[in-house]
Amino acid sequence: MVEELFADIGLDRTEGVIRSGIEKLDRLLEGGIPAGFTTILLGSPGSSIEILVKQIATAENVTYITTEETKDEITETMKRFNWSIPKINFVDISATYYSSVLEDETKRVSVYQQRSKLKLKELIEIGSQGMPSTTKSDEDFLAVLSKNVKNASPGGIIIINSLDFFLSQYRQEDVLKTIYAAKVSNLKKKGALLIVMTKGIHGELFERKMEGLADCVLELDVIQKGSSFERFLSVKKMRNFAKKIGIARYAIDDSGFVLEMIERIM
């Protein structure tokens, strides 16, 4: 049996597979994610992909690059599900970015307050200047991403949650180049690079490019049937492991992400 085959491996990254920490997901993947693979996690809105990602982050040797939530928000969710929380290397881009946004808005409000005290003649003189000029954060978040992937521990799990943030800040071509470099770095380190992206909002062509770049593609969908919802996780692509292609129904309960029935697609 697959479970018995990997029972002695544990979290050892030297045997060619990296476990997700979720038993049934590893069973669907027939042991785990092959070492060195770059995996795209495509999630439709409402798929609860954020729960899956946080649960994977409770495995060992994890670098978590977060743009959607702060470190404190993530750990608070982990505690709510009563998961054991290992030492995670957080790269909290979210906190840095939103801090700069708040600082920028504070400056903007300050400029308006100053203008409100000006006389009508002075306001007319500066009226053609448009919006108040404020300083934007000059942090290069793509460079931060590239640096932390490069410096991640060999054989570990690297989570980028999510690519949506970088696509809102940079050109798609620049993001693709950075992800390709991250893929090469991860391949050398024999780790598991997991990249989260919302399905259907960045254009079909870009999605196809990302799927072509990836070694593995996992897709989460939610389908409404009457007054209820059904959620499915599909293994759409697994490079050189065609027999791992499959689909499973899943649910979210008090313990987190739970896979139910698994079907193989031959």
The domains located in the chain, with CATH, are: 2-101+140-264 (3.40.50.300)
Question: For the chain, which residues score pLDDT lower than 50?
Answer: 1-14, 107-113, 115, 123, 128, 130-136, 266
Q: Are 137 and 100 in contact (CB under 8 A)?
A: yes
Q: Are 81 and 254 in contact (CB under 8 A)?
A: yes
- Express each pLDDT in 97-147 by its tens digit: 987 765 555 544 444 445 455 555 554 555 545 444 444 456 899 999 999
**pLDDT reported for residue 217:** 96
